[in-house]
Amino acid sequence: MKAIFISFQGDEEQHINKILSVLPEDVEIIRVAHEQEEPNILTFPGLTIHILERRVFRGDSEVSLTRLEFDILLYLARNAEQALSHEQIYSAVWHEDSCEDSR
């Protein structure tokens, strides 16, 4: 058994699948997708987050945030489509496990 590592981006997957279809069945294929590069700016209705500059704007007005407030907002913004638990937020922002008794 041979292993082939394949890396692809975006719409390349359909072309790779066509190529792989001619390989023998005993070949193990390990796929690696490229991470999409994160944008420097996240925008929401009425809110703009400049990630690298660590600046937040509500409309045209800059919002003053502490480092921790910015980190929490950024984590929530990056995961806007998900319901997040207290533990997930705590772990991601503080980089450690939360203590249930400390709530």
pLDDT tens string 51-97: 999 999 999 999 999 999 999 999 999 999 889 898 998 988 887 66
Helices 86-94 and 67-78 pack at an angle, to 10 degrees, of 120
Extended beta strands in 1-103, E state = 3-8, 28-33, 41-44, 47-50, 55-58, 61-63
Say whether pLDDT at 3 is over 60. no
Residues 8-25 have pLDDT tens digits of 565 666 776 777 777 777
pLDDT at 36: 59
pLDDT at 19: 73
Query: First vs last Cα of the chain: how many Å apart?
Result: 53
| Number of Cα atoms under 13 Å in the Cβ half of residue 77 | 20
Which pTM does this prediction carry? 0.58
pLDDT at 103: 47
Q: What is the DSSP secondary structure assignment for residue 73, as one 8-state letter?
A: H
